[in-house]
Amino acid sequence: MVRITTARAVAVVTAVASPVMVVTSLLVLAALPPGWRPEIPATPDTAAGLIFPPVGAFLVFHRPRLTVAWLMCGGGFGAAVSELGGTMILRTAADGALVTAGYLRYCSILGWLASGLCLAVLLPLLSPDGRPPSRRWWAVAVLGAVALSTEAARGIVRPALNPNPWPAAVPNPLAIEALRPYTQMIGKIAWAGIYAAVVLSLLSLAFRFVRSDSVTRRQIAWPLLAFTGYVTFLLIGERLWPIAVTWAGLVPIAVAFSVMRYRLYGIDTIVSRAIVGGGLLAVISGVYFGAGALAGLIASREHRVAGLAAALVAGAFFQPLRRLLQRLVDRALYGRVGDPRLLAERLTQEVRRADPAKALSSVVTVLQDGLAIEGAAVEVVDGRPGYVESGHVGSSPRQIPLVWHGETVGRLLLGRPGPRRFAAAHDERVISTLAPYAADVAHAVRMAADLQRSRHQILTAREEERRRLRRDLHDGLGQTLSSMAMTINMARSSLRKSPDSADTLLRDLRTGMDAVSGDIRQLVYGLRPPALDDLGLAGAVRALAAEGPPPITVEVSGDLATLPAAVEVAAYRIVQEALTNVRRHARATRASIALDRSPDALRVRVTDDGAGLPERPRAGVGLHSMRERAAELGGTCATVPGATGGTTVEAVLPL
């Protein structure tokens, strides 16, 4: 605990002292005489001294033993010392204390050495976990230390500059005049080693990026992007130092984002769009100018033709190239876990191998993995299972409707982002890619549930019908036949002794046979109305209409002779029940029946001019029976007020 407290105290000191030294340096520079004021007031060390130590101290407070944090603190402090030392050299020299200025050079050089070694070589080499990609990469650290130390030693023993850029020459108390002929050569060798070490350190980070999984790639992408820009501007030279100074301030923030891996904010989106946009710009530009040059050679006088040809060729390459680059970037950033195209392929394979219920589980599992969220769920409207969850979506999940051909079949529920967080743009691409698959599976679940319910209703109806037939046969026809058998036995016994009694028994037997015939007729009529076989649907409906008041007209359109038997029975029963309601409740003076067959359905309409529906209609047994008969065939039956009063019953029965 004491060590942690001490470490944090040291980090706070560097975080406060470094910016103070840099600000002091800038103020001193502003007060220098014109001849002593440098052309470029700020260098990358200026930004390093201002920003690296505070960010490093922040990381130390969270992870006191983090090597990267201490490199940022030490390197930033060294940069601040270098900046302040360099400024004080000019200040003391301008005041005439040239010897003192010569000694201050050593502080500036040592600060520059610490800053360069910590920030330019070791920080990218050891980011983000404090270790190089492998032990062989320590050679880069050795190269950087040797090259930087060589340049620092050269600065300590270097003779005074000739010609001198300042109004007065600053002497070097430790100068070795014998090295003057070799100073320039030593400097070139040292800087070649420095640049080589810096570039190799950056390559180590790129090597780590390529060899890592998708999660670590997203973590490394921040410092890799920042260091790449900084090294690029640094190698170009002092011409782009203003940009290098600004970019150097972004490096510690990028490293902090990388180290605090649970707080990443969209680096993959930035990298993805940058690579795709840059690649498109480079390739399309090359195609455009190449096509333009080729067309110019062929038709050198027709510049418009050349430009048009170039534009057409470049446009033809644009969309396929954009898709290819996007796929490559997705694969590099997310691997097989987050690539939307690969997720869709994986989901397709799993859905093909599973039944609808398990396919729904596959959907939420793939979505949870692809979005890197704590939980995902699909809630199906009127489906079984109606809710499938993977992980935990929480109390307030994001809700996305699942639409199948314009019909909402369910909802997709997404929980909070998990530790392996992806960017919003990537999430939207994954959702837009996988949501249609989820909607298809949700629809399949609904269809399976509807099929199961229909199967259950059919089995229930069949068992009920069997029960009714058993009851009717046993209680009605069975009892009658048993009684007839007893009558026959009694008639046989009394035939010789009492012919009159036998004759009476036979007359009773005849009456019983008539009752049996009636019972059988009722059973047959319950299974299928005989009128349908004798008269057809149109004739049977006309027979129903002729049974009694009110006057009823029948209109028939289309061929009803080839209707399926189940459709005929359903239409007949619906008309029969509707006419029963008209005669019992409607108090109508007239009614009409319309049968209209189309290629895909039979429409049945029964209309009356009666009292109409009550204000609070109740679905009785008759209305419920009509709806069930239509639903059994996948159709509909509705009872609505008529256009000019009364009531209209309209059923649509699919063929």
Annotate 222-253 with three-state secondary structure: HHHHHHHHHHHHHHHCHHHHHHHHHHHHHHHH
Q: Would you state the pLDDT for residue 556?
A: 92
Q: Which of 5-14, 151-160, 234-243, 541-550 has the highest mean pLDDT?
A: 541-550
277 versus 33: the higher-pLDDT residue is 33
Q: Give dist(CA 376, CA 413) in Å, integer.
A: 6
Q: Report yes or no on 35 lying in a domain.
A: yes
Q: Would you state the pLDDT for residue 13?
A: 86
Average pLDDT over all residues of the chain: 76
Q: Report yes or no on 464 lying in a domain.
A: no
Q: Give dist(CA 205, CA 122) in Å, integer.
A: 11
Q: Domain tally for the chain? A: 4
Q: Would you state the pLDDT for residue 650?
A: 92
Q: Are residues 105 and 202 in the same domain?
A: yes
Residue where a domain stops, chosen among 335, 360, 376: 335
Does the structure show a pLDDT above 50 at 280? no
Q: Report yes or no on 491 lying in a domain.
A: no
- The alpha carbon of residue 159 and the mean position of all alpha carbons in its chain are separated, in whole angstroms, by 65
Q: Report yes or no on 40 lying in a domain.
A: yes
Under 8 Å between Cβ of 434 and 368: no
Determine which helix (DSSP H) or strand (DSSP E) holds 323, and give its type and residue range: helix 303-338
Q: Report yes or no on 325 lying in a domain.
A: yes
Lowest mean pLDDT among 190-194, 306-310, 455-459: 306-310
Check which CATH number belongs to the domain holding 348 and give it. Answer: 3.30.450.40
Q: Give dist(CA 416, CA 499) in Å, integer.
A: 97
Q: Give dist(CA 508, CA 488) in Å, integer.
A: 10
Confidence category of residue 294, pLDDT binned at 50, 70, 90: low
Q: Are residues 70 and 186 in the same domain?
A: yes
Q: Are residues 298 and 234 in the same domain?
A: no
Residue where a domain stops, chosen among 264, 293, 321: 264
Q: Are residues 424 and 328 in the same domain?
A: no
Annotate 287-298 with three-state secondary structure: HHHHHHHHHHHH
Q: Report yes or no on 178 lying in a domain.
A: yes
Residue where a domain stops, chosen among 209, 232, 264: 264
Average pLDDT over residues 63-76: 84
Q: Which of 158-172, 220-234, 527-541, 554-568 has the highest mean pLDDT?
A: 554-568
Q: Report yes or no on 405 lying in a domain.
A: yes
Q: Would you state the pLDDT for residue 300?
A: 43
Q: Would you state the pLDDT for residue 607?
A: 93
Q: Are residues 22 and 94 in the same domain?
A: yes
Does the structure show a pLDDT above 80 at 600? yes
464 versus 620: the higher-pLDDT residue is 464
Under 8 Å between Cβ of 417 and 423: no
Q: Would you state the pLDDT for residue 263?
A: 40
Q: Give dist(CA 91, CA 27) in Å, integer.
A: 11
Q: Report yes or no on 372 lying in a domain.
A: yes
Q: Are residues 390 and 323 in the same domain?
A: no
Q: Are residues 259 and 328 in the same domain?
A: no
Confidence category of residue 302, pLDDT binned at 50, 70, 90: very low
Lowest mean pLDDT among 144-148, 264-268, 410-414: 264-268
Q: Would you state the pLDDT for residue 267?
A: 44
Under 8 Å between Cβ of 116 and 145: no
| CA distance readout (Å), 281 to 225, 272, 291, 615 | 19, 14, 15, 70
Does the structure show a pLDDT above 70 at 282? no
Average pLDDT over residues 416-431: 64
Q: Are residues 139 and 48 in the same domain?
A: yes
Q: Are residues 545 and 635 in the same domain?
A: yes
Check which CATH number belongs to the domain holding 560 and give it. Answer: 3.30.565.10
Asked whether the bond before 163 is cis by omega within 30 degrees of 0, the reply is yes
Q: Are residues 229 and 298 in the same domain?
A: no
Average pLDDT over residues 582-605: 90
Q: Which structural domain, as residue segments, surrounds residue 623?
A: 531-654
Confidence category of residue 319, pLDDT binned at 50, 70, 90: low
Q: Are residues 211 and 99 in the same domain?
A: yes
Q: Are residues 346 and 260 in the same domain?
A: no
pTM above threshold 0.85: no
